[in-house]
Structure 1
Amino acid sequence: MEVAVYWGCMIPTVEYAYELSLRATFPRLGVKLIDLKGVSCCGSPIKSVNRLAADYLALRNIALAEETGTEHLLVPCNGCYLSLSEALHHWRTDEELQGEMEKFLDKEGLTLEGGIKIVHTINFLHDIIGLEAVEKAVKKPLTGLRLVSHSGCHILRPSKILDVDDPERPRKLDDLIRALGAEVLEYPESLDCCGAGLLLSHPETAVSLSATKLRAIQGLGVDGLVDSCPACHMMFDARQETGARAIGYKLSLPVVYYTQLLGLTMGLDGRSLGLHLNQSPVEKLLERAQKTFP
């Protein structure tokens, strides 16, 4: 299966462990990633300033993806997934916007049909690749590991536009983790925001939000937190120590991308999955995982 992939800005520049692990694991599931040429920002940073420009930035990326002829456009970043999905929804439901976008796209020699399906890592693996295929790819199950998940806000809401998972009770990431052999615990704070949206305007509040959630998770005695969003991962992983200082509590919780965990069960080495780039104490999780491997 071939799938076009839009990485956005954050994954290739800051959170490239996500890209490394996704590139390492997807071919082993029979997925060939088609990189897009000439892409731009998803438009998210300027939504509140110029909605028209934001929609155009998103739609031109979708038009570039359609040129590949693939059925699906994989967008691993939650924020980018939201931006592209919202823009396509606006385009489909607003004839006036369609006319304006057609003019802009025509200047670049682009056309938009709107038929490509935008998917995130979670629903692509869960719904299209399927849990059975994921389970078959596992060589070293994580039996005995106790983990929790964090889906993130921007693939769940607004639910009238997005269809990755149930916005009130998301379960697909949990299902995917269980497919690797680990136990998944539920916890009351599962839908709490990571705080990334406040990082530029109120950084102290932002890291306090992420640290408060991490404190609750750490109190469960789990082996780690699994996520699939670069912004959320940055808050929980790279800014874990900063958050700990903000709330005055020692945090030591391993945080990994789902694709990193998937790669470990496939028998891939940690460096190929970008685990050397994680800033949370992932060595604790790796040690526990090694003990569970047959």
Structure 2
Amino acid sequence: MASSTLKYAYFPGCVAQGACRELYISTSVLTQALGIELIELKKASCCGSGTFKEDSQLLEDTVNARNIALAEELNLPLLTHCSTCQGVIGHVDERLKEFQETDPGYIDEVNGFLKKEGCSPYKGSSEVKHLLWALVGDYGLEALQERVTRKLSGLKCAAFYGCYLLRGQTTIPFDDPFNPESMENLFRAVGATPVYYRGRTQCCGWPISSYATKQAFKMAGTHIQEAMEAGADCMVTPCPLCHLNLDSRQPEVESAIGQKLGLPVLHLPQLVALALGISPKQLGLSKHIVSTQPLLEKLGF
């Protein structure tokens, strides 16, 4: 059984505290049920979602060095449930750890900005870890399986990894960036059946949605259609930005492709928590744009 002393510095990110509040709620409920302690980094700032570096790589590095330093103050790994935050902050952490060896002057420059703001310096002593990696690697799938009280038998789940979780960093733990299995293995651990389809590791379309909206919706529509054709009862994503494009905007996606879809899209902690016997109401499953009721009825809720 996993230790009950797992503890992380929690970086919830922006979207989970706004448009996808149900992700924030379900992460809290799940981690409490598993005995995982989260210390929220209340002073953390937005990671920038990859946009800061378009103006200045130094800006992105400095902002996220500060976020990491907040976790280092607690001597804890930084945990996020957002793939975009994972990719951005994790990539910065990789860069800065490399520069500690190859370009210490750059680290001094970053820490100089942090010092001016009264912040602790970046030391490179922490890890940046997505909730998925924490469940798979730290808690462990066998231990998780022991906690399942309501197996999700018969539920066919299509993972949607998206971009940042797999390819935002040079290396990722516990998985292959081109042929991932971590989410599918997690599905099996809670009794669900994984569904494979071509688009599961591709972009959801969100990054181009502000200037190429129709194309973004068509990308999302293609992925949803492929998942449905493969027999999926739902999609499951570890990224709230993917969730916005796949669930919140699914009505617009339907209009863009001229086809009715209606495929529920769950946040990763919602799926796992259902298998622990936690009620759909506690997990905010009524807050989705695409109704989760057919899925819940299939599971006997």
Q: Same fold (TM over 0.5)?
A: yes
> Whole-Å Cα distance in 1 between the matches of residues 239 and 153 of structure 2?
25
Tell whether 2:93 aligns with 1:88: yes
> How big is each residue's C-alpha offset from its partner over 1:266-289, in whole Å with a ceiling of 9 and x where there is no partner?
111112111111111211100101
Q: Counterpart of 2:167 in structure 1: which amino acid?
A: R
Describe the shift of the 1:205–1:102 C-alpha distance in structure 2 as closer, same or farther (beyond 3 A). same
Alignment check: 8 A CA contact 1:82 1:162 kept: no
Determine the structure 2 residue equivalent to 1:277: 287
Match for residue 148 of structure 1? 158
Give the counterpart letter for 1:105 in structure 2.
L
- Is residue 112 of structure 2 the alignment partner of residue 106 of structure 1? no
Q: Deviations over 1:144-176 (max 9, x none)?
A: 112211111101114524446211101001111
Instruction: Tell me which residue corresponds to 2:32.
Output: 27
Q: Which amino acid aligns with 1:169?
A: N
2:78 aligns to what SS in structure 1? strand
Question: Which of 249, 268, 287 lines up with 2:278 in the alignment?
Answer: 268
Q: Which ranges in structure 2 are unaligned for 5 or more consecutive residues?
A: 1-5
Map residues 1-294 of structure 1 onto 2, 5 A cutoff.
1-43=6-48, 44-70=50-76, 72-94=77-99, 95-107=104-116, 108-163=118-173, 165-290=175-300
Q: Output the CA distance in 2 between the equivalents of 1:164 and 1:87.
A: 20
Q: How many angstroms apart in 2 are the aligned matches of 1:173 and 1:133?
A: 16
Range with bigger deviation, 79-88 or 161-170:
161-170
Aligned partners of 1:52, 1:145: CA distance in 2, in Å? 45
Q: Tell me by how many angstroms 1:50 deviates.
A: 1.3
Distance 1:158 1:119 in 2: 13
What is the SS of the residue equivalent to 2:55? Answer: coil
SS of 2:211's partner is coil
What CA distance in whole angstroms lies between the structure 2 residues aligned with 1:200 and 1:164? 33
In 2, distance between residues paired with 1:159 and 1:82?
Answer: 6
1:156/1:163 contact within 8 Å kept: no
Q: Which runs of no fewer than 5 residues in structure 1 stay unpaired? A: none
* Residue identity opposite 1:285 in structure 2: L
SS of aligned partner of 1:184: strand
Contact 1:238–1:280 (8 Å) recurs in 2: yes
Distance 2:63 2:119 in 1: 15
Aligned residue type for 1:193:
C
Q: Distance in 1 between matches of 2:7 and 2:275?
A: 23
Q: Which moved further from structure 2: 107-116 or 24-33?
A: 107-116
1:222 deviates by 2.0
- Deviation beyond 3 Å, 4+ runs, structure 1: 161-164
Q: Is the 8 A contact 2:161 2:202 kept in 1?
A: no
Cα separation, partners in 2 of 1:145 and 1:240, compared to 1, 3 Å:
same
Identity of aligned residues (%): 31
Deviation at 1:184, TM superposition (A): 0.8
Q: CA deviation at 1:246?
A: 0.1
RMSD of equivalent CA atoms: 1.4
Residue 228 of structure 1: how far off its partner (Å): 1.1
Contact between 2:157 and 2:233, CA under 8 Å: does it hold in 1? yes
Distance 1:145 1:109, change over 3 A: closer
- Asked if the contact 1:78–1:229 (Cα under 8 Å) also holds between the matched residues in 2, the reply is yes
* TM-score normalised by the chain length of structure 2: 0.92
Distance in 1 (CA, whole Å) between partners of 2:211 and 2:172 is: 27
TM-score by length of 1: 0.95
| Matches of 1:266 and 1:253, distance apart in 2 | 23
